[in-house]
A and B are shown apart, each in its own frame.
Chain A
């Protein structure tokens, strides 16, 4: 495989726009977890005109609900969850300045349009590689919605978090590009 690209957070639109579908990356810095219930809570807060618990400008969101940490570990197993369940909320969240999303699985055309507009990159982590991924997480700090348990919004300090660009800011889709050469039906 080609050389892995190193990315450090925050992720600016300028850097995001240089990434291409199929690029293999290693992410370091702070990324923020949020999944179904947190997305619902945040979009409802926005609809009420309230501020969000964190400033998402140039940040990367990770669709994650980890297992509880065993004593002595910063986090439990922490692989990506299915991104598609966040699609209904995603354009609203991208309006908040998010520049990267990490998850797994396909996205809707609405999400891809919003990504192109804002210069956002969608990364996939390997679904089910949760114990391996936990090795790249050094610290896990709950920032909001602690009552949601594993669905809380948290800051993850990561070093060389492995991911692949699956949909880039121009809308190129590696899920489609990657499958086509091997489709023999």
Chain B
């Protein structure tokens, strides 16, 4: 049986937090450049120029792309033949988040309790961790730093089967139009369809882990992604101050659901679509 020590996991997670905060993924950078080429609004072009230049400065100088370095969301795939030694996996990941945020000069934006006291934990922990048990003896870690300007504009709608494809499109567009200029567009839009309420929300987050230039493997869903992107880019929202580049991509993930249900969740991410992944 293969063994990994938790210390290695902590060190990797710390490094990944910093990388994600400083280096915008290549596919997102390319999508921004493509958006700049086709943008019709002069103000929109100016905004896109600033956003593109910003990501270059961040990469060149190891600076956070955005001051909101987010809540850390981690997707784990744990091979069932892997043995983790030296401590608890969740603790090791949180130790890595704390180390990365402190060493990397990232902003600590997590409060321990949401309603009454809201005291900052001072190290951005705890992370939100989703774990999937898979075959094999590897540990895959995917991570995003999720800003809340965009998270606050996300939403969910419990549709019924009769609502169909048009109902899904309307639900997504209602959330996008309500979000408007607020979530720092151009957005990357994650859509989760199916499952239960919570599963749909999870799928909408998971969808953001797919590169912006990769379409859903299922042709119908790939089609839906294209149609939604076209609709969103016709809203006029543009890069914050109006224009044609409102979103860079729509990524849809789907899952089995109940005969009576059609949940649809939308996670909106801003252009600062931070992502890092490793397989140990």
Q: Are A126 and B47 closer than 8 Å at their CB atoms?
A: yes
Q: Are B66 and A77 closer than 8 Å at their CB atoms?
A: yes
- Measured in the bound complex, the distance between the Cα atoms of B22 and A70 in whole Å is 13
Contact with B along A48-76 (1 / 0, CB 8 A): 00000000000000001111111000001
Contact with B along A131-165 (1 / 0, CB 8 A): 11111000000000000011000000000001010
**Contact (A130, B67) CB under 8 Å given A65-B107, A82-B149:** yes
Contact with B along A156-185 (1 / 0, CB 8 A): 000000101010000000110111111111
Q: Are B50 and A162 closer than 8 Å at their CB atoms?
A: yes
A-B contact count (CB 8 A): 156
- Binding-face segment, B84-92, B128-136, B214-222, B231-239: B231-239
- Measured in the bound complex, the distance between the Cα atoms of B107 and A180 in whole Å is 36
Q: Are A164 and B241 closer than 8 Å at their CB atoms?
A: yes
A105 contacts chain B at the CB level, 8 A cutoff: yes
B184 contact set on A, CB distance < 8 A: 104, 127-128
Q: What's the minimum C-beta distance from A152 to chain B, rounded to whole angstroms? A: 12
Smallest Cβ-Cβ distance to B55: which chain A residue:
A131
Q: Which of A66, A130, A164, A184 contacts B234 (CB 8 A)?
A: A184
B50, B68, B108 pick with most chain A CB within 10 angstroms: B68
Contact with B along A98-118 (1 / 0, CB 8 A): 000000111000000000000
- Measured in the bound complex, the distance between the Cα atoms of B181 and A166 in whole Å is 11
**Contact (A68, B105) CB under 8 Å given A128-B271, A162-B50, A178-B41:** yes
**Contact (A184, B236) CB under 8 Å given A69-B105, A76-B67, A162-B50:** yes
B113 contacts chain A at the CB level, 8 A cutoff: no
B43, B67, B122, B182 pick with most chain A CB within 10 angstroms: B67
Q: Which residues of B contact A (CB under 8 A)?
A: 40-44, 46-47, 50-51, 53-55, 57-58, 61, 63-69, 105-109, 120, 122, 147, 149, 152, 180-182, 184, 231, 234-238, 240-244, 270-272
Q: Which residues of A contact B (CB under 8 A)?
A: 1, 22, 24, 64-70, 76-79, 81-82, 84, 104-106, 124, 126-135, 149-150, 162, 164, 166, 174-175, 177-185
Given pairs A68-B105, A184-B236, 17 additional interface contacts (CB within 8 A): A65-B67, A65-B107, A66-B67, A67-B107, A77-B66, A78-B67, A82-B182, A131-B65, A132-B53, A132-B54, A149-B120, A150-B67, A175-B180, A178-B41, A179-B180, A179-B242, A180-B236
Interface CB pairs A-B, < 8 A, 15:
A1-B43, A1-B46, A66-B107, A67-B69, A77-B65, A81-B68, A104-B149, A104-B181, A128-B147, A128-B270, A130-B67, A150-B109, A181-B242, A185-B231, A185-B235
